[in-house]
A and B are shown apart, each in its own frame.
Chain A
């Protein structure tokens, strides 16, 4: 145990010295800055920030590209708090819970203080999540090594099921539908075992399958452009940013909330596809119930801002744990990060510590440096960013389309990928209008090939019988988990149906 710990510590310090060179630090500083700016602009989510800025990583060396993407990710999640607090429009969905108390504080003229508390809480959240990432990931690697084909298949199904369950408020079946549609999308192209074309309709371009990044950019980028621009929603800055840095006494009072919310954020982040928004809401709810000042939540309470902001940033480290160990992203921006590192030739999974021994620590160090830059930038640029929020969305959103086009094209240098992006953008728009979540769709596209190959190979190994597969310990745990998720999801769907059946009868009888 001690040897293992010392070995980890040695690897950490080795990675630390390796990552501390000027270009890397400058890249991290720039990336965090850009992430904050993009994240602060309403309508531009952290996933969109990664989708847009991934273009810039194509021309970079591998190490710098990873640092760049992590810096953008960290900055964008925190950046969402500016507009949530100042304009009551969360820059990212992850900052929605921040707006509850933050905006009330801004109206009271304490917007600067709320931003300061948000930035410092995000900093604490990142520190907790990086510590958990370093400590827990090696253990998960060991568990992941026990995974056979059957367990990988169950993991893929578990990922889509839990993501579908968590990302839909009322009707989990909708989440599962899009998750399995994601699986179907992944089936398009040549079969990985026999190179047999599936659902290609004779189109040569489809034989290569649907590329992940164009699909992701479409689902999150183009659909977002349409969602934002379909309505003209003018907004203006309501408050002015005054004092930003809270007193030491205030910071100290926020530490228990930050630790609690940080741990919640990491836990939620480690659940496939759950994401930063779920983490922030859960931490806010737990904070409201367990804090001594719980009754003040929702009335303009710094602790409320701290609970939400700590958790949404802590999700980042949590989301990296299943991503690095099992290649299952914990959140939609993490899915974008996974797609990007695939593009740079890294295959996460249990073999990662053997193929790229220092990768975990490089990620942790990059996150750590980005965290410090996030704190510095976050406090320095609070006032200018508040001015930037005045930029009208009718100007901003159209400018994003050419960037999504470049993002889709640059990976494979195929015009066909731009058309794929457009198709997924329209699909994403329609599904979002019908209350379908996007996270399970993305997770389905990512996990589809794993589910397909693993299921077929597991059945081949067991000579077509399920019986030998049912007695494997890790598999039993996953099957129980899938069963419980299905049970709770169907129960929610039944309750939703009953409740709305009654409401609709009443409405129709009133002749509305």
Chain B
């Protein structure tokens, strides 16, 4: 039941997002260059998609209003507490995992050697997840990073970042 309520509020936000997104898409498509006629212009199909987004967004908004999505959002806003959010173990876990992925993909890869980047990512992720003992984590991280690199570069001759 709680999930249904959450979905009603999430659907309302998504519905509003889709309507705004549809309007932006239509605006952007109308600003695209018309070569011969609008029917074969680059903006024609995005224009149709914009209309579809507004239509589907309106249905979602209407449906979530009927399911008391608005009241749910207001009630959640009153109860909203950033401290509670960060105390949620699941939220913290996902955010930390995403943070480690961001460091690996946007900071380490292409700046340092792929094997080293992978070993570092694996070490910190496995350590955070308490996957095994420290010695085992170091062993798994280093061996996996070397094996992946060797397997793809030597055996399959695939370039690595």
The interface of chain A, by Cβ under 8 A from chain B, is 55-56, 58-59, 171, 173, 176-177, 180, 183-184, 187, 191, 193-194, 196, 198-199, 222, 225-226, 229-231, 392, 394-395, 398-399, 401-403, 405-406, 409-410, 413, 415, 418-419, 422, 425-426, 429, 434-435, 451-452, 455-457, 459-460, 464, 490, 493, 496-498, 500-501, 503-505, 507-508, 512
Contacts and interface: CB of A to CB of B under 8 A. Distances in A.
A409 B2 CA distance: 41
A194 B35 contact: yes
Interface in B5-61: 5, 7-8, 10-11, 14, 18, 25, 28, 32-33, 35, 37, 39-46, 48-49, 52-53, 56, 59-60
6 contacts: A173-B63, A184-B25, A196-B42, A198-B43, A401-B104, A401-B125
A401 B101 contact: yes
Nearest to A429: B94
Contacts of A425: 101
Most chain B CB neighbours (cut-off 10 Å) among A199, A226, A395, A419: A395
Given A198-B42, A406-B152, A497 B14 contact: no
Given A177-B56, A230-B93, A413-B159, 9 more contacts: A56-B156, A226-B94, A398-B121, A398-B122, A409-B161, A422-B106, A501-B66, A505-B68, A512-B1
Contact of B45 (A187, A501, A507): A187
B118 to A, nearest CB: 5
A199 B49 CA distance: 13
Contacts of B10: 434
A187 B44 CA distance: 11
B112 interface: no
Contact of B63 (A435, A452, A497): A497
Contacts of B18: 177
B117 to A, nearest CB: 9
A405 B161 CA distance: 9
B152 A504 contact: no
Given A222-B101, A497-B63, A418 B161 contact: yes
Given A229-B93, A422-B105, A180 B49 contact: yes
B132 A395 contact: yes
A230 B102 CA distance: 17
B7 A435 contact: yes
A198 B32 CA distance: 8
B129 A187 contact: no
Contacts of A406: 148, 152, 158, 160
A177 B19 CA distance: 12
Interface of B: 1-2, 4-5, 7-8, 10-11, 14, 18, 25, 28, 32-33, 35, 37, 39-46, 48-49, 52-53, 56, 59-60, 63, 66-68, 71-72, 90, 93-94, 97-98, 101-102, 104-106, 109-110, 118, 121-122, 125-126, 129-132, 140, 144-145, 148, 152, 156-161
Contact of B68 (A226, A399, A413, A508): A508
Contacts of B144: 399, 402
B111 to A, nearest CB: 10
B35 A55 contact: no
Contacts of B42: 191, 193-194, 196, 198
Q: Can you list the 5 inter-chain pairs with the closest CB atoms, starting with the nearest?
A: A191-B42, A196-B42, A394-B131, A59-B156, A452-B45
B37 to A, nearest CB: 7
B131 A398 contact: yes
Given A55-B158, A398-B126, A500-B67, A457 B152 contact: no
Given A409-B161, A500-B8, A395 B126 contact: yes
Given A55-B152, A500-B8, A505-B68, A196 B130 contact: no
Given A231-B90, A394-B126, A399-B122, A180 B56 contact: yes
B129 A229 contact: yes
Contacts of A199: 28, 46
Nearest to B56: A177
A459 B39 contact: yes
A98 to B, nearest CB: 26
Contacts of A59: 156-158
A497 B66 contact: yes
Nearest to B132: A395
A229 B140 CA distance: 18
A500 B5 CA distance: 9
B93 A176 contact: no
A199 B21 CA distance: 13
Nearest to B38: A464
A59 B60 CA distance: 46
Contacts of A460: 37, 39-40
Contact of A415 (B63, B140, B156, B161): B161
Contacts of B8: 500, 504
B90 A398 contact: no
Contacts of A505: 68
Contact of A230 (B39, B90, B121, B122): B90
Contacts of A58: 156, 158
Nearest to A59: B156
Contacts of B2: 512
A198 B35 contact: no
B67 A501 contact: yes
Contacts of A508: 68, 71
A184 B28 CA distance: 13
A505 to B, nearest CB: 7
A504 B98 CA distance: 33
A512 B67 CA distance: 15
B125 to A, nearest CB: 4
Contacts of B121: 398, 401-402
A241 to B, nearest CB: 26
A504 B122 contact: no
